[in-house]
Structure formats: C-alpha cells, structure tokens
Amino acid sequence: MTTTATYERPRVRKPIDWWRWAGRGFITFIMLFATLPMLWMILTSVKTQFAAMQYPPQWWPAEPTLNSYIKLLNPNDQIGQDFLRYFGNSFYVSFLTTVLGVVVAVPAAYAFSRFRFPGRTFLFFSVLVRNMFPAVVFLVPLFILMRWLGLVNTHGSLVLTYLTFGLPLSIWLLKGFYDNIPIQLEQAARIDGATRFQAFLLIVMPLSSPGIIATSIFSFIGAWNEYIYAYTFLSRDDQMTLPVGIQRFFTEFATDWPGLMAATFLMSVPVVVMFLVLQKYFVQALTEGAVKH
C-alpha cells in the first residue's frame, strides 16, 4: 500500500499596508476632531451655569439638568418665545430659498445642458464668476440695493441674497447631472407623442431627483447657517433668524453658556436630521454625477 503525501503550500504572511493604516488613523483623527466639539457642546448644555464656569472645567456634569432646553422650548417663557420665533424665521427663509432656488436652477441647468445658443458657454461661466469672490465683498453693494428696494428688515432681502449666492452652484451641479442623462430617453418619449415639456417632466425629472435633492440640501444648509447678511439686513427682533438671535445669550457682564450651547445644539438638529434622511439621495447624486452613462 502506497501513501500519497500531501504538500501544503507555506502560508505567506501579508505585509502590513502602512498607507492603509495611516489613512484609517487620519480619518479617525478627523472624526474625533469634528465630533469632540459637538460632544462638549451637548455636555455643557446640560450643566448648570456654575458648573459651566468652573475652572478647571468639569468634563462630565455631576448634576445634569435639562433646564436650558425647557426654557428654550417653553412658549410661555420669554426666552422660549424668542427662540421659537427665531427658529420659525430661519426655517421660513431657508425653505423659501431652497424652493425658489430649485424652481430657477432646474430649468436653467436643463437649458445649459440641452440647448445650443449663441453665448451659451460665456453665459454659463459668467454665472460662476460670482463664486470667485468671497461673500463679504458684496455686503455693502447688496445692502444699498436692498435699501433702495425697501427690503431692509424683511425676509425678502435674505431670500434674494441667498439665491444670489446659491444659484450658481445649484445650476453648475444640476447641469453636470443632466449631461449624464442620455438624451435618447427624451427622444424616445418625443417619438411616442410626448411634448418636450412632458418628456422633461416625466422622464428627466424622476431621473434627476437625486441631483435636485443634493442641491436642495446645499441651499438649505447655506441659508440656515448664514450669519453676516442676516446680521446686516435685519435689526428688528421679530425678523431675526437663529444665527443672529442666539447672540442674545451674550450680555455685557455674563454669558449664559448652558443656554447658548442648548440653542446651538437645537439649531443643528434640523440640518442633521435632514441630511440623515436624505443621505442616500445625496450620495447617489454625487456618484451618478461622476459616472458617464
């Protein structure tokens, strides 16, 4: 009887990929760098004023309290009334800016993508010229324009200003998205008897919904967090938005740090929730916009 010896290949130990581990370490550092301030803000919001002012700082609150949140969300308290009014103003301005931005950017981007007309390239790049300059450069000219139009101390001044800054980016993003939608789909719909508008509404719009959602997120976040123009154009208390209104927690002799941190945290909640809910559409828009169909 003969036996056949089996030969086992020696296991080769894979070398350590130092670049991959360095990348993971860098990503971990960035995540901690971005997360720790948010964690400190939440911990400070549940402290008392005395605990928030202690030095050395009290890292973990010994007696956590939700008094700051109760005051902010209580419509019967003066602080709560002001905060809820600022919150409503911010939501109104951001929502209106987002809706109008989409209504204007969608047909404009579609026209730049599908139609060929004299001066098309020049007009498209001239739209993007505004993004070459910082927003503060236009502060004084826009304030003079809004005063001439009688829009100072109104939400209309902020909506027009945010559209001025948000539309170029929205048009640019949507144009790249429409470029990657095959025009043959519209041609097939036209052959079946659909008008150009019907082909756009029934074929292009559903396919471009991830891109529209992505641009909507950009527009909403930009309008929600903007401070300089809201501080310049609005001086009436009933018109102020959240970024301007929360400065009321700063006074000449003291600062309500727990209240300020609670207001800041509540201000970030709508943006975080919206991004988490629409995250898959946002990622889909970025990936589809980078792949040629």
How much is the pLDDT for 290?
Answer: 45
Q: Structure tokens of 215?
A: 């641009």
Instruction: Yes or no: say if 233 and 158 are a contact pair by the CB < 8 Å rule.
Output: yes
Instruction: Yes or no: say if 237 and 82 are a contact pair by the CB < 8 Å rule.
Output: yes
Angle separating helix axes 279-290 and 209-225, nearest 10 degrees: 120
Instruction: Yes or no: say if 65 and 47 are a contact pair by the CB < 8 Å rule.
Output: yes
How much is the pLDDT for 148?
Answer: 92
The stretches in the chain having pLDDT less than 50 are: 1, 289-293
**DSSP code string of 24-49:** HHHHHHHHHHHHHHHHHHHHHHTS-H
Question: Model pTM?
Answer: 0.80
How much is the pLDDT for 287?
Answer: 59
DSSP 8-class letter at 193 = T
Q: In CATH, which of 3.50.30.30, 3.40.50.2300, 1.10.3720.10, 1.25.40.10 is domain 85-290?
A: 1.10.3720.10
Distance, CA of 6 to CA of 138 (rounded, Å):
79
How much is the pLDDT for 96?
Answer: 94
Nearest to 217, CA basis, from 166, 288, 263: 166
Angle 155-146-230 from CA coordinates, rounded to 5°: 45
Instruction: Yes or no: say if 265 and 45 are a contact pair by the CB < 8 Å rule.
Output: yes
How much is the pLDDT for 99?
Answer: 93
Cis peptide before 56 (omega within 30 of 0): yes
Q: Structure tokens of 80?
A: 């709560």
Phi, psi torsion values for 250, nearest 5 degrees: -90, 125
